[in-house]
Amino acid sequence: MLKTRITEILGIRYPILQGGMAWITGWQMAAAVCEAGGLGTIAAATMEPQELIEGIKKIREVTEMPFAINIPLRLPTARRAVEIAVGEQVPVIVSSAGDPLLYAEKIKRQGIKLFQVAFSVDMVRRCNQSGVDGIIAMGAEGGGNISRAEISTLVLVREVVNETDLPVVAAGGICDGKGLAAALALGAEGIQMGTGFLATREATVHERYKQAILDAIDTDTVVTGRTTGLQFRVRKNSLSEKVLGMEREGRSREEIDSFTIGSLKEAAVKGDTDWGSLMMGQVACMIRDIRPVSEMLDHIVSSAIDEIRALGRYIS
């Protein structure tokens, strides 16, 4: 078994967090992860308040394990989502895309565990001041919204570990035991995965989206939004080509946003893999089958332990 400050603080069996994914990770997916030994996360980003309240109620009905609510702080839905999560006394909040100082005091006063996603070291300094319980260092290999500087996980995790005494979770480009073992070697005490969880039986994402992950090769993802400052890693398709074309023409962020608004829902819920936003990480190229969550997590942890033991062969 692997025991780290992450398993201890969160009270979970495996040091594995399921990343919140807007339109995709509701209570069903999160509950499956909690029951399998990881930390399941409900993504609040695109939920109406009532849907979030219902989701919290439902997850509590089906699991007694701790779970998290992910709240991207830059979105207009954030304030209400924080109020709901605090009012409902959820076990964990994972804040992302914004300043952790905004709500940290309110959250911590209620005894709720708070983790913040960091793309760079500036954010780590904010985390150190804000009383968060841990930092999720997400590198640019990851799917969805990524950092402007596009710092890779290999560099970012080490940099973050050097800047804080808080436990660090590595995210971006991890889907297996070798990835978990590597993250631990870098000084992280757990991993967060997004893309890997999309390729599971329990993932409530359209089947065509899952297939697009299975079919992806290493050169299939691309970063859009470099000219507008809101970068996303997605699988190449007609939408990504169109957006990159608009960027080359120098179109404004407003024009591009108005063209892409709702496009993740089109892909994730309606299965439009051509004109929907197919957010996924580079690691999609290593995912070749759809598995039950519990099988995937058991396998990741047991193979990480094997990997760590096997590394002893290099010591003479």
Residues that bind ligand FMN (CB under 6 A): 19-22, 24, 43, 45, 70, 72, 96, 117, 138, 141-144, 171-174, 192-196, 279-281, 283
Whichever of 192 and 200 has its CB closer to ligand FMN, that residue is 192
Task: For the CB of residue 149, give the shortest distance to ligand FMN in the complex, in Å.
Answer: 16
| Position with the least CB separation from ligand FMN | 194
Task: For the CB of residue 226, give the shortest distance to ligand FMN in the complex, in Å.
Answer: 18
Whichever of 61 and 170 has its CB closer to ligand FMN, that residue is 170
Task: For the CB of residue 175, give the shortest distance to ligand FMN in the complex, in Å.
Answer: 7
Task: For the CB of residue 10, give the shortest distance to ligand FMN in the complex, in Å.
Answer: 16
Greatest extent of the chain over all pairs of C-alpha atoms, in Å: 60
Whichever of 7 and 96 has its CB closer to ligand FMN, that residue is 96
Q: Which helix (H) or strand (E) holds 7?
A: helix 5-10
Whichever of 196 and 225 has its CB closer to ligand FMN, that residue is 196
Q: Which helix (H) or strand (E) holds 280?
A: none
Please provide the DSSP assignment of 162-204 as one string: HH-SS-EEEESS--SHHHHHHHHHTT-SEEEESHHHHTBTT--
Task: For the CB of residue 15, give the shortest distance to ligand FMN in the complex, in Å.
Answer: 15
Task: For the CB of residue 46, give the shortest distance to ligand FMN in the complex, in Å.
Answer: 8
Read off φ and ψ for residue 59, nearest 5 degrees: -65, -35
Task: For the CB of residue 144, give the shortest distance to ligand FMN in the complex, in Å.
Answer: 3
Task: For the CB of residue 197, give the shortest distance to ligand FMN in the complex, in Å.
Answer: 8
Whichever of 138 and 180 has its CB closer to ligand FMN, that residue is 138
Whichever of 23 and 161 has its CB closer to ligand FMN, that residue is 23
Pairing of strands 144-145, 232-235: antiparallel
- For residues 200 and 300, is the Cβ–Cβ distance under 8 A? no
Tokens in use for 191? 């991993």
Task: For the CB of residue 20, give the shortest distance to ligand FMN in the complex, in Å.
Answer: 4
Query: How many other CB atoms sit within 10 Å of the CB of residue 62?
Result: 14
Question: Comparing C-alpha atoms, which of 84, 91, 85 is closest to residue 40?
Answer: 91
Tokens in use for 79? 């304030």
- For residues 194 and 70, is the Cβ–Cβ distance under 8 A? no
CA distance 84 to 284: 34
Tokens in use for 283? 């690691």
Specify the 3-state DSSP secondary structure of 217: coil
CA distance 205 to 61: 22
Whichever of 19 and 190 has its CB closer to ligand FMN, that residue is 19
Q: Tell the burial category of 38 from Cβ atoms under 10 Å away from its Cβ (0-12, 13-18, 19+).
A: buried
Whichever of 127 and 280 has its CB closer to ligand FMN, that residue is 280
Specify the 3-state DSSP secondary structure of 233: strand
Whichever of 21 and 61 has its CB closer to ligand FMN, that residue is 21
